[in-house]
Amino acid sequence: MADEPKPVNEEDLRQLKERMKLIADADPAQYHNEYSLKRYLRAFKTVDGAFQAILKTNKWRVEYGVSTLQENKEMIEKYSDKARVLRHRDIVGRPIVYIPAKNHSSSDRSIDDLTKFIVYCLEEASKKCFEEVVDNLCIVFDLNNFTLSCMDYQVLKNLIWLLSRHYPERLGVCLIINAPAFFSGCWAVIKGWLDENTAGKVTFVNSEIDLCRYLIPDILPTDM
């Protein structure tokens, strides 16, 4: 089952709502719903921290052109084998982002374009959240047929940065499936980039029986 999100201080939430109302009344595009405000409070701890983080995210979304990424059909088609937001959900209702690691290589991508594609996927998955029930995502890294040439550390760094800065508390669980033994060396590097909270959401799944605790295995793509 999904872990219950940590409760936020109601007075902090009230203050953050008041601050954001002043901003959103002047510019409706700045609006964040209560679920989003709670995620920022959980991630950034204080009203000031959450407020500043929201303003930075709003500015980034405009400058990065987040709202128009879905119109970039060429980019979406080019990187469609790198990740996919699945039609089905995990066992507790989270949208699933499926990433077949075997299709990745730092030698055959533009880091800027692939990062935009990652943002596109995070946006599409976030839109599928039933926020009143569960407002976070399940990300599945499938390491079937993974080799060291597939290890794209920069893309992972960018994903971690995006999740921490602009999609805080959106990650519910990260499943790593079909991991070969030698991936432990890669994981030792990656884990060093994660805070304790995020690292605690990463689960290595070693059998189909274990995977069934999180999702129905048959929903995972076989055409990527």
pLDDT in tens, the chain (224 residues): 456 778 999 999 999 999 999 999 999 999 999 999 999 999 999 999 999 999 999 999 999 999 999 999 999 999 999 999 999 999 999 999 999 999 999 998 999 999 999 999 999 999 999 998 999 999 999 999 999 999 999 999 999 999 999 999 999 999 999 999 999 999 999 999 999 999 999 999 999 999 999 999 999 999 99
Q: Indicate the fold that domain 74-219 takes in CATH.
A: Phosphatidylinositol Transfer Protein Sec14p (3.40.525)
Distance CA 143, CA 128 (A): 25
* Positive or negative torsion for Cα 116, 118, 124, 130: negative
Answer yes or no: pTM beyond 0.85: yes
Distance CA 111, CA 36 (A): 28
The residue ranges of every structural domain in the chain are: 10-64, 74-219
